[in-house]
Amino acid sequence: MILTVITQNTTREPLTTTKTFKAQAVASLLGTSGDTVRRDVDEAGIQVQRQDSSIKTRLFSIENIFELARYRAQKNSKRKVKKSVTLTVYAPKGGVGKTTVTANLASLFALMGLNTLVADLDFQSNLTLSFGYDSELSPEEAKDANIPLDQCIEYHIGHLFPNWPTGQIPLDSVIKKPYGACGPHLVPSDVSLDRLDTLLTYEALEGRNAETAINKLLKDGRGGKLPGIDLSQYDIIMFDAPPAKNRVTRSALLASDFVLAPISLEKFSTKAVSYLASVLTEMNDQYGRNPELLIMGNFFDQNRPRVLQQLSTIRSAYEDCWLNASIRRSEDFPKTLSSDEYELPLCLSKPSSIGAADLRVVAEALIKRMGVFE
Amino acid sequence: MAKNHPTEQDFLKMVTAQTKPNDVASTGLSAPAKPTMKLNRPPSGPKISTEELYNQELEREQAKDNATSPARADIFLNELPSVGEVRKVSLNLIDDSPYQPRLRYDPIKLDTLGLSLQTAGQVEPITVRIIGDRFELLGGHRRCRAARSIGWNEIDAYVKECDDFQAEKIALLQNEGREDLSEYERGKVYKRALERGFAKTQTELASMFGCSQPTVSNCMKLLSLPDEIKSFLEATPSLFGTALAKVLFDLLKDYPNELPLLVEGIQRVANGAETTNFRTWFMMKISSRNRGSKKKETSVVTGKSGKTLFTAKVDNGKVQISLGEGIRVDEQTVAKWVIAALRERADQADIE
């Protein structure tokens, strides 16, 4: 039941680093050539493992790739980060591929060299799982199975709040770095995250505006007002919000510059989008602000008239919110997240698949729309 | 790139081409179904940044901390002489404060509160005073309701000594700060505080309640809405707030005779229509009515040849008859005809 499949064979290293990539695969991840990859990695002085066989092919670890991505971004003087943004991925309805999209986008943003933080706001912890952390793994079980203790989830976003009942925990102890320091950083979640909503409810009852709590956390964290919690290093902060419109979700939306709503083009989802629009209107009435709505189509299938009709209805009603990029329905995406066998997000595990290609287009379109680069 | 699949660019081109509403026909696909349901639009127009929101909240918090007036509810409550320590009081013996300005309790919020009472226990005792052999609430109306809803029999309470005047002041102060008190209810609180002499000016009110003077002024303005509109707020205080009230006052100023249409609009809001597009809806109604009336109220009398002989236009209590081009009769004759026709029907128009 634990993440033992690979870990037991290679006990030295945590699970997420076992997959290796050859230079050509790295090149397709970074959108460049194999030769450039080899040149850059030497230039950057990144230590890459070599094959044991006679031809000493470089075997890039997932950490190596993100290190290289960071190095290349710093070298590229044309692409400078203009402003940091906060993005919530939210769909009022489940089953639209929201968590898969979030995990992939966070990885792709980091591949662009952006310092990315992604927070799992759902106590069901699916995003946490998609980065390889089983939130049910207890320290005792980990010890027995010889899994490094840092694979266990001890803290979640609630622990970053100064008024958390058991005290604030420094950011470094809360976050996970599944793909190394240069990869996306994850604020994981576990089942006890449910308490955050109760805490916010109390705040509200005490007459404080609980829904502005996440905005306050981000601003204080970016402004150096919280010892131990420095959020100023991040170019992008993402939230994976649960479908329920609870206080935590509303608080994340209120703190976000943008809300990305993935909608399933296979199902009739116009009602869900319309509902989300009205939620944003209510928010605007109450606080004078709301995140800008961006809609992205998922499970696109050009051969199905109903899908096209659905797309056309949504496009004509929400032209200005429509992100001009969709993700096609494809067999590449894993059907379910499982804690028995870990798979990297699709954009990393199968960089040359259609799904990965679509995700890259979406990531680029988003970054452009959000005005992250100069 | 994977085999047998278009490239990203092809794909994007395809999505763009096939889904532009106007282009659908040209691709041989059936035209898009007109959305049968009304799709809500996300809000547009000016909004504050996350920085401004942060600063606003900071100011709000500071204003609360700075409001050192001894009249603030918690300080005031602490100063009241206690009758013993915190004790368990039977919920059956607790009555609402008669000074409670809240008109409605949100059942969902009560539910959440009940849930948190159940999971975390009661953090803050309620406050009551003794009236005869029963207790009257000073603070904690919602906690009591929530506790009853989850089947509690008793609740932790501070018992204080307190006269009616103090009790009223506490009720007003305590409830004003609550997040889910609507702006209309808040306006009522301010008005009552003025009437009872707890404060003399709006500025005094603002510092007493730890808010800004414009907030006081805006909330109190809700009370001066016409009664026809106010009755909706009496039924559902949170139906709309100061933002829509501003629009209503604007429209009333420009269209003093259109109160019935405004009431119709508020009825729509009560039925779930958005408040943000109220003005748009109102202007649309006005303009469509004008257009409709012109068409309907201009009648044309044509001859056998099909030419226009007379047109009759109704406008604001006047009937104007125009003579068509080249007709054989003159104005005097037409006037005689009209008068004759009117005389024939005079009994129908006679004053009752």
Is B42 in contact with A281 (Cβ distance < 8 A)?
yes
Residues in chain B closer than 8 A to A257 (CB atoms) = 50
User: By CB neighbour count within 10 A (0-12 exposed, 13-18 middle, 19+ buried), where does B58 fall?
Assistant: middle
How many angstroms separate the CA atoms of A374 and A79, rounded?
7
Per-residue model confidence (pLDDT) at position B281: 87
Say which range, A263-277, B51-65, B156-170, B283-297, has the weakest mean pLDDT: B283-297
Residue B296 has pLDDT above 80, yes or no: no
Per-residue model confidence (pLDDT) at position B28: 40
- The continuous run of DSSP H or E covering B300 comes out as strand B298-302
Residues in chain A closer than 8 A to B115 (CB atoms) = 198
Q: Which two tokens stand for residue A124?
A: 């069901």
Cβ burial B166-200 (10 Å sphere, 16+ → b, else e): bbbbbbbbbbbbbeebbbbbbbbbbbebbeeebbe
Per-residue model confidence (pLDDT) at position A79: 81
Per-residue model confidence (pLDDT) at position B24: 39
Residue A77 has pLDDT above 80, yes or no: no
In chain A the beta strands, taken as DSSP E runs, fall at 20-21, 49-50, 58-61, 85-89, 116-120, 185-187, 236-240, 258-264, 292-300, 322-328
| Closest C-alpha to A219, from A197, A237, A242, A201 | A237
* Residue A304 distance to chain B (closest CA, Å): 11
Locate the chain B residue with the closest alpha carbon to A216. Answer: B54
Suggest the residue from A85, A278, A322, A323 to mutate for an interface test with chain B (most B CBs closer than 10 A): A278
Question: Would you place residue A8 in the very low, low, confident or very high pLDDT band (cuts 50, 70, 90)?
Answer: very low
Per-residue model confidence (pLDDT) at position B124: 82
Nearest-CB residue to A202 (from B14, B39, B116): B116
Encode pLDDT of A303-312 as tens digits.
787 788 778 8
Locate the chain B residue with the closest alpha carbon to A359. Answer: B8
- A282: number of Cβ within 10 Å: 17
Which residues are registered as beta bridge partners of B127? Answer: B139, B158
Suggest the residue from B9, B37, B50, B215 to mutate for an interface test with chain A (most A CBs closer than 10 A): B50
In this prediction, what percent of chain B has a pLDDT beyond 70?
77
How many angstroms separate the CA atoms of A115 and B70, rounded?
49
Higher pLDDT: A55 or B65? It is A55
Is the distance from CB of B273 to CB of B238 less than 8 angstroms? no
Mean pLDDT rounded to a whole number for chain B = 78
* Residue B114 distance to chain A (closest CA, Å): 11
Q: Which two tokens stand for residue B158?
A: 């501070």
How many angstroms separate the CA atoms of A190 and A142, rounded?
16
Residue A14 has pLDDT above 60, yes or no: no
Encode pLDDT of B299-321 as tens digits.
788 887 778 888 888 777 788 88
Per-residue model confidence (pLDDT) at position B117: 86
| Closest C-alpha to B166, from B139, B188, B191 | B139
How many angstroms separate the CA atoms of A174 and B310, rounded?
86
* Residue B116 distance to chain A (closest CA, Å): 6
Locate the chain B residue with the closest alpha carbon to A332. Answer: B2
* Residue B134 distance to chain A (closest CA, Å): 26
Question: Would you place residue B265 in the very low, low, confident or very high pLDDT band (cuts 50, 70, 90)?
Answer: very high
Suggest the residue from A201, A312, A324, A368 to mutate for an interface test with chain B (most B CBs closer than 10 A): A312
Residue A99 has pLDDT above 60, yes or no: yes
Mean pLDDT of A137-163: 89
Residue A15 has pLDDT above 70, yes or no: no
Nearest-CB residue to A216 (from B5, B57, B64): B57
Say which range, A20-29, A150-159, B37-46, has the weakest mean pLDDT: B37-46
Encode pLDDT of A252-300 as tens digits.
999 999 999 998 877 767 788 888 998 898 888 778 899 999 999 888 8
Mean pLDDT of B71-85: 66
Is B42 in contact with A290 (Cβ distance < 8 A)?
yes
Per-residue model confidence (pLDDT) at position B294: 52
Phi, psi of B307 (to 5 degrees): -80, 150
Question: Would you place residue A128 in the very low, low, confident or very high pLDDT band (cuts 50, 70, 90)?
Answer: very high
Per-residue model confidence (pLDDT) at position A181: 94
3-class DSSP state of A87:
strand
Please list, in sequence order, all residues whose beta carbon lies within 8 angstroms of the beta carbon of residue B33, skipping any fewer than 6 positions away: A309, A313
Give long-range contacts, CB 8 A cutoff, 24+ apart: B272-280. Answer: B274/A278, B274/A281, B274/B40, B275/A285, B275/B240, B275/B243, B275/B244, B276/A281, B276/A284, B276/A285, B276/B43, B278/B244, B278/B247, B278/B248, B279/B247, B279/B250, B279/B251
Per-residue model confidence (pLDDT) at position B99: 79
* Residue B332 distance to chain A (closest CA, Å): 59
Say which range, A211-220, A251-260, B339-348, has the weakest mean pLDDT: B339-348
Number of residues in chain A: 374
Which residues are registered as beta bridge partners of A296? Answer: A262
How many angstroms separate the CA atoms of B229 and B174, rounded?
28
Phi, psi of A217 (to 5 degrees): -60, -45
Say which range, B106-120, B155-169, B226-240, has the weakest mean pLDDT: B106-120
**Amino acid, res. A115:** N
Per-residue model confidence (pLDDT) at position A86: 97
How many angstroms separate the CA atoms of B139 and B158, rounded?
10
Residue B97 has pLDDT above 80, yes or no: yes
- B304: number of Cβ within 10 Å: 5
| Closest C-alpha to A81, from A119, A112, A118, A41 | A112
**Residue bearing tokens 């995250």:** A193
Residue A249 has pLDDT above 60, yes or no: yes
Mean pLDDT of A140-147: 87
Question: Would you place residue A36 in the very low, low, confident or very high pLDDT band (cuts 50, 70, 90)?
Answer: very high
- B297: number of Cβ within 10 Å: 12
Q: CA dist B98 to A246, B103, B131, B137, B271, Å?
A: 33, 12, 12, 9, 31
How many angstroms separate the CA atoms of B236 and B230, rounded?
10
Q: In what order do the strands lie in the sheet with A185-187?
A: A185-187, A116-120, A236-240, A85-89, A258-264, A292-300, A322-328
Residue B60 has pLDDT above 90, yes or no: no
